[in-house]
Amino acid sequence: MEAERGERVVIVHRSEGVTVAEADALTRLGYEVETCSGPAYYSCPVMRGEPCQAVERADVLVYDAWATTESEGGQRLIEGLRDLYPHIPVVVTVPGMVLSWMETEGPHRVIPLVGVPTGERLDAAIREALAGAREPVGGRSAS
C-alpha cells in the first residue's frame, strides 16, 4: 500500500544500516523520507529545548528508542519532541519490549513499534500514528 499524500517522515536512528533500510522501505511505499543520525552523533536542538528544522518539515517522526544510546536520554528526547511538537505524531522503534517511559496516551503519547521495523510494520505504525494525530490528545489508547 502506498502513502496517500507522500507524507513526510523523519527517521532518527543510531544505526546507519537500520536508517537506510527503513528509509528505503518507506520511500518504496511512497513516503518522502529525511534521515538523521540523532543525538548520539550530533548536537540535537531538541535535547536543548530548541526547535529542529527537520522535525518542523515532518508529518510524522520515526525514532529509535535508543537514539541517544541510553534509555533515559531516549525518554528526554521523546518528551522534548512531544513538548515542542505535540501535533506531530511519533513512532518509537524498540528492539525487544516497550520501555516503561513510553506513553500511549496523553501529551507524550507515542506509537511503540516493538521488534524488527519492516516496511510493512513501519507503514502500519505510521498510519496508526497519523490517525491518532487527528484525534484529541487523551482521546484514545493505542492497541
pLDDT digits (tens, 9 = 90+) for 36-59: 988 888 889 999 999 999 999 999
Shortest CA distance to 122 belongs to which of 31, 14, 15? 31
User: Residue 92: which of 109, 107, 72 has the closest Cα?
Assistant: 109
Query: Which tens digits make up the pLDDT trace of 4-39?
Result: 668 999 999 888 899 999 999 999 999 999 999 888
What pLDDT band is residue 142 in, cutting at 50, 70 and 90? Answer: very low
pTM score:
0.86
- Can you tell me the mean pLDDT for 62-86? 88
pLDDT over 70 percentage in the chain: 90
Judged against a pLDDT cut of 60, whether residue 60 lies above it is answered with: yes
Distance of alpha carbon 92 from alpha carbon 20, whole angstroms: 17
What does R_g of the chain's alpha carbons equal in angstroms?
A: 14
User: Distance between CA 22 and CA 24 in Å, rounded?
Assistant: 6
pLDDT of 90 over the 80 cut: yes
C-alpha cell at 81: 519532541
pLDDT for 101: 84
Q: Residues 55, 61: contact at Cβ < 8 Å?
A: yes
